[in-house]
Structure formats: C-alpha cells, structure tokens
C-alpha cells in the first residue's frame, strides 16, 4: 500500500491562514490593551509603593531613586527606577532598572534580585547577636588605621547585640551620629537554608528615604532620633503589603518583612560615604563588634 504524498499546497494555505488569524488576534488584543489602558486604572501607584520600595530594601548596594511608571496595560505594568552602584567615589552615572508586573500579579525584576559585590559580602556577615569578638574588632582597627583617615567609605557597622530603637538613639547621641540618607538600618540579616522554602532571603536594609517616591521631597531627617522615625515608616510600609504580593523577584517574603517590622531591632548599619576617622571611633564602643569596609575613595572635592 503506497503512502499518499502530502498536498503541500494545502499545507501551505493552511499555514498561511493560521498565521493570518494569529496576527489578527494579536493586533486586536493590542488594540484592546491600548483602549483599556485609557479607561482602567492599572495601579502604577501600588507598584511604586510596594515593589519599588522592595527593590530598594533588597538592593542596598545601589542608590535607587526617581521611579516612574511607563504606562500600564492589560498584559503588564512596567515601573522604572534610576540608580547607580553605591560606591565611595564619584558618581558612575545612572542606570535604568525595570520592574514588571503581569496580568496575574507575577513580578519580574532580573537586575534587582539582591545585592552584589563587596557590600553584599559585608552585609552577609551580619548575624543576630553574634557577641563581642576582640580579635575581629582589632583586625578592623588595624585595617582602618592603615589607611588615610580622610578617605570616604561605604561600610557595614555590625553590632555585638541587636539594638532596640531606644538603645540606638542613645548610641547616636553618644557618638553624635545624625540619621539621614547615608545611614540605613539592617532589621534582618540575610538568610540561607537549602532545606527551607524559599532557600534564601535577602537582608532587610531600611532607610526612610526608600519610600521617597511617596513622600514629600523636603523630607527632614531627625538626627539622633532618626531610628524612631525610620522604624515607624518601615512598619507603615509593611502595613501596605498583602500576603499575596509577589516579592520573590527581590528574594523577600511577606512573613520575613512582617517579622522584622514587629521585632523592630537593628543588627547593624550600612553607612554611605562616611569618613574613616568617624568609623574608627565607633570601634572603641563595646556595642560595635566590627566595621567592614566595602569601598573607600578620596573625596576629590576636598583636594586642592
């Protein structure tokens, strides 16, 4: 019995019809998408409030700011942040980072899944109540003493024991430390356990300026008492979250954030462009376990 030769002309016509119908459907869907964007609120504001702030929490190695919505649609909503690497030296120029939420609430942010580089390593060493370690503290002293004290630094200050807000305010007053955009609070260290789900979670690093898209531009920091305002704003933001929010793109979790907000203690500080001389003084405080430098640079504006 001979197999029949396929009717290639019929196959070709069928393929053309399928392609034509597919193209027509895509065009129709695109037109509907554009029309619905005019009449339906796709809630760019919630993307900014929840996911843009989550990106800042999970990526303290970047200075992320100036977010804006690119327009919503039936398929997805895109929100763009401007940012640059958090380094001690001159600005390296801004980069765009996109956060995309699709129709089903799934979020993609491939460049904002957590910190990288030396600052990520320094944050990764922070632990819950690690205690005093004189050897580690002395090593940090020798490192800083071996460098010009006028250098600017990006660093992590790790506490020997977790700090309540009251203790941290007292610490600030003792060292005349003023809160601001150059001080962020580590409310939870990073986490890794391959037997759990999720296996890893980023540290919760918070600065009141991380909600700057939703607050007035003339934000006034409160110097020594800034930890009080920072914790209040962190708790307010966590209160905006729903358990169904997809925070996996940032390696964060609703329960992880809610627990950190409820506990409200600080395990360390991320400090931005502090002088080495000021960091060196902190090492004489028994509440400071160590200072880990992530980057140092001369302030060229002071040269000359």
Distance CA 96, CA 47 (A): 16
Is pLDDT above 90 for 77?
A: no
Q: Residues 80-123: pLDDT tens digits?
A: 999 999 999 998 788 999 999 888 889 999 999 999 999 999 99
* pLDDT score at 35: 44
In the chain, domain spans: 117-302
- Residue ranges of E strands in the chain: 62-69, 76-85, 95-102, 107-108, 152-163, 183-188, 191-192, 200-201, 204-206, 266-275, 288-297
Local confidence band at 217 (pLDDT 50, 70, 90 cut-offs) = low
pTM more than 0.75 = yes
Q: Residues 149-206: pLDDT tens digits?
A: 999 999 999 999 999 999 999 999 999 999 999 999 999 999 988 888 888 999 999 9
* pLDDT score at 131: 97
Is pLDDT above 90 for 253?
A: yes
C-alpha angle with apex 299: 298 to 302, nearest 5 degrees? 120
Mean pLDDT of 40-44: 49
Say how many C-beta atoms besides its own lie within 10 A of residue 166's C-beta: 10
* pLDDT score at 224: 96
Average of per-residue pLDDT values in the chain: 87
């Amino acid at each position: 019995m001979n197999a029949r030769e396929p009717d290639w002309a019929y196959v070709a016509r069928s393929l053309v019809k399928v392609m034509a119908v597919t193209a027509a459907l895509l065009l129709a869907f695109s037109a509907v998408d554009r029309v619905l964007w005019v009449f339906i609120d796709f809630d760019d504001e919630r993307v900014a409030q929840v996911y843009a702030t989550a990106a800042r929490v999970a990526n303290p190695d970047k200075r992320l700011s100036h977010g804006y919505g690119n327009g919503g649609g039936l398929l997805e909503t895109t929100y763009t942040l401007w940012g640059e690497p958090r380094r001690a030296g001159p600005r390296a120029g801004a980069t765009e980072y996109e956060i995309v939420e699709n129709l089903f609430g799934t979020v993609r942010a491939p460049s904002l899944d957590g910190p990288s580089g030396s600052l990520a390593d320094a944050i990764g060493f922070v632990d819950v109540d690690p205690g005093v370690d004189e050897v580690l503290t002395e090593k940090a002293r020798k490192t800083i003493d071996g460098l010009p004290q006028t250098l600017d630094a990006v660093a992590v200050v790790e506490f020997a024991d977790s700090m309540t807000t009251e203790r941290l305010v007292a610490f600030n007053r003792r060292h005349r430390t003023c809160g601001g955009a150059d001080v962020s609070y580590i409310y939870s260290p990073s986490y890794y356990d391959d037997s759990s789900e999720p296996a890893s979670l980023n540290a919760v690093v918070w600065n009141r300026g991380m909600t700057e898209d939703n607050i007035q531009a003339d934000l006034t920091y409160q110097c020594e008492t800034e930890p009080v305002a920072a914790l209040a704003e962190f708790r307010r933001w966590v209160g905006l979250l729903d358990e169904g929010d997809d925070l996996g793109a940032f390696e964060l979790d609703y329960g992880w954030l809610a627990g950190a907000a409820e506990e409200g203690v600080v395990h360390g500080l991320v400090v931005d462009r502090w002088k080495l001389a000021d960091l060196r003084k902190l090492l004489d405080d028994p509440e400071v376990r160590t200072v880990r430098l992530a980057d140092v640079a001369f302030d060229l504006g002071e040269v000359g």
